[in-house]
């Protein structure tokens, strides 16, 4: 009787440990996604200022401005999920590449201090986005592995823990827009 009670206590303690471990990992993924989201919003906040800086020098490049603004609007209205943000991330990156390509055609723009400061800030933000994306994917890996291992898989199924999706960018979006001075 005492051995059965002892075994039951051990099983309950292991069960609680596994459950708490899975909760910690799930919260880690949620926190990591929040950090990605913060950096993506930071980048979106920089875009209008960048567009305004370029407009003064390249007013007739309307299609490029419209592409950047449309990509920003799509990103702002997209669901806050890795899949949706991945699609809009690719659109933003492509549009920003076009915008930065304009600076090559306008030497005065390349010399504008405001434009240069915005380019630098955007470049730094792209690095933060990349880091936050990597951190998020590491947390997802930890959670996904945790819910697939035995005996945690039993606890995960019992309490509805599910695998999360990675935040994956297209190959061309994995490198930040090229900033040249």
Asked if residue 176 has pLDDT above 70, the reply is no
Q: How far apart are CA 48 and CA 118, in angstroms?
A: 10
Confidence (pLDDT) at 19? 94
- What are 12's two structure tokens? 């309950």
Asked if residue 173 has pLDDT above 70, the reply is no
Confidence (pLDDT) at 29? 94
- What are 82's two structure tokens? 């890795």
DSSP helix/strand/coil, 159:
helix
Greater confidence (157 vs 106) lies with 157
144 class by beta-carbon count within 10 Å (0-12 exposed, 13-18 middle, 19+ buried): middle
Comparing CA positions, the residue from 86, 87, 91, 77 lying closest to residue 36 is 86
Q: Which residues contact 69 (CB under 8 A, 6 or more apart)?
A: 47, 51
How many C-beta atoms lie closer than 10 Å to residue 86's C-beta? 18
pLDDT range class, residue 180, cuts 50, 70, 90: very low
Comparing CA positions, the residue from 85, 93, 90 lying closest to residue 166 is 85
Confidence (pLDDT) at 15? 92
Reported as a single tens digit per residue, the pLDDT across 66-123 is 888 888 888 888 888 888 888 888 888 888 888 777 777 777 776 777 777 888 888 8
Considering the chain, what is the average pLDDT of its residues?
83
Confidence (pLDDT) at 181? 39
Confidence (pLDDT) at 174? 47
Confidence (pLDDT) at 139? 95
What DSSP state is assigned to residue 171?
Answer: G
Confidence (pLDDT) at 179? 46
- What are 153's two structure tokens? 């898989």
How many C-beta atoms lie closer than 10 Å to residue 122's C-beta? 22
- What are 35's two structure tokens? 């950090």
Domain 10-170 has CATH 1.20.1440.20: yes
Is there a cis peptide before residue 151, judged by omega within 30 degrees of 0? yes
CA distances (Å), 129 to each of 31, 74, 153, 174, in order? Answer: 14, 18, 32, 10
Please give the share of the chain, as a percent, with pLDDT higher than 90.
Answer: 31
Q: How far apart are CA 49 and CA 71, in angstroms?
A: 15
Reported as a single tens digit per residue, the pLDDT across 4-61 is 899 999 999 999 999 999 999 999 999 999 999 898 888 888 888 888 877 776 666 7
């Amino acid at each position: 009787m005492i051995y059965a009670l002892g075994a039951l206590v051990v099983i309950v303690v292991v069960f609680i440990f596994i459950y708490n471990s899975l909760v910690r990992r799930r919260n880690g993924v949620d926190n990591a996604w929040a950090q990605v989201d913060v950096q993506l919003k930071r980048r979106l906040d920089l875009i209008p200022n960048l567009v305004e800086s370029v407009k003064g020098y390249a007013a007739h490049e309307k299609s490029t401005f419209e592409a950047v603004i449309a990509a920003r609007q799509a990103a702002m209205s997209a669901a806050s999920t890795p899949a949706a943000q991945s699609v809009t991330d690719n659109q933003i990156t492509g549009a920003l590449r076009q915008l930065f390509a304009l600076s090559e055609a306008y030497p005065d723009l390349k010399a504008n201090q405001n434009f240069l400061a915005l380019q630098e800030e955007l470049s730094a933000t792209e690095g933060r986005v990349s880091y936050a994306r990597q951190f998020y994917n590491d947390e997802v890996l930890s959670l996904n592995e945790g819910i697939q291992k035995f005996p945690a898989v039993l606890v995960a199924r019992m309490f509805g823990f599910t695998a999360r999706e990675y935040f994956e960018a297209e190959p061309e979006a994995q490198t930040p827009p090229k900033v040249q001075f």
